[in-house]
Amino acid sequence: MTDLVVRRLLIDLDTPFPARWNGGDAFRSAFFNALSQSFPSGEQYFIDAVRDGLKALPEAKRASLSAEVHGFIGQEATHRRIHALFNANLERLGFDNAIERWTEDRRKEHRGDDLRNKVAATAATEHFTAIFADWVLRHPEALAGAEPRLRTLWQWHCAEESEHRNTAFDMYQALGGNQVWRIKVFKYVSSVFLYDVLRQTLRNLWHDKALLRWSTWRSGWKLWFAKDGMVRSNYPLWKAYMAADFHPSQQPAALSQSWLRDNADRYTVVGRAA
Ligand SMILES: [Fe+2]
Ligand SMILES: [Fe+2]
């Protein structure tokens, strides 16, 4: 079990920031913006799935997972609040949040699905965020030149995603979810999530008048496909999810706790799982 702490981030999100807040780099900004645009609705879905999962568990299992689930919910609720503020700034800059509409439409189609599949979709997406989070913490150049308050926002979110990477997966197992559906849902989530993030990134670049520039795609290639880039270097970690004996705790996450320790002055602890 993980002792999950809820933290309030001490940063200013009232002061506006420019579209290319990430070091003036159009691609890196558009991509991180697309992720942020997906978060408030996605994180609400995760909260609902694990909360419903907890209610569905028999008493003994519920007691053993309760504290961790409440910590998870507290962390995701804080993330969605902060990213809603971040996204409000993007909206003022004229960026259209289409990814939220796409994902909500898709969720309506899957409203009647078995609860275990909703938890499986949460665990699958959390695998993506955990891989992304650890990679960002290991590669500060992904946020090179970003305003310090925004770099702090992303690194804090990454540290907590790494920290709570086990929760949805453990809930899926506690609910008796099987391997076949875990992997089937993971493949589905992988394709739609990447497709949606890509489409939203392209829309953001179009709005920023940067879609058809060489410099944009040079940066995109470097971020995703360089030797140690996000896509290329994380492929083995992504694939590991399909192993029968996979558990998220097997994945690297060492930088999460050191970031939280070294940056304790950037947040206050508002809740601790009891
Ligand atoms: Fe989150
Ligand atoms: Fe998460």
Confidence of residue 110 (pLDDT cuts 50, 70, 90): confident
C-alpha 172: how far from chain center: 18
Task: Tell me the average pLDDT across 117-133.
Answer: 97
E strand spans, 86-225: none
Confidence of residue 273 (pLDDT cuts 50, 70, 90): low
Task: Tell me the average pLDDT across 100-104.
Answer: 95
Cα–Cα distance, 122 to 179 (Å, whole number): 15
Report the separation in Å between the CA atom of 229 and the middle of ligand 1, taken as the mean of its atom positions: 22
Report the separation in Å between the CA atom of 128 and the middle of ligand 1, taken as the mean of its atom positions: 11
Report the separation in Å between the CA atom of 157 and the middle of ligand 2, taken as the mean of its atom positions: 9
Report the separation in Å between the CA atom of 26 and the middle of ligand 2, taken as the mean of its atom positions: 26
Report the separation in Å between the CA atom of 80 and the middle of ligand 1, taken as the mean of its atom positions: 7
* 112 has a pLDDT exceeding 90: no
**What residues does the ion ligand 2 have nearby, CB within 5 Å?**
161
> Residue 43 half-sphere exposure, CB side, CA atoms within 13 Å?
24
* 220 has a pLDDT exceeding 80: yes
User: Where does residue 222 rank: exposed (0-12), middle (13-18), buried (19+ CB within 10 A)?
Assistant: middle
* 15 has a pLDDT exceeding 90: yes
- Residue scoring higher pLDDT (15 or 253): 15
Confidence of residue 184 (pLDDT cuts 50, 70, 90): very high
The pLDDT score that the predictor gives to residue 254 is: 86
Confidence of residue 3 (pLDDT cuts 50, 70, 90): confident
Q: Two tokens at 63?
A: 């007691």
Report the separation in Å between the CA atom of 215 and the middle of ligand 1, taken as the mean of its atom positions: 30
Task: Tell me the average pLDDT across 32-48.
Answer: 97
Secondary structure class of 269 (helix, strand, coil): strand
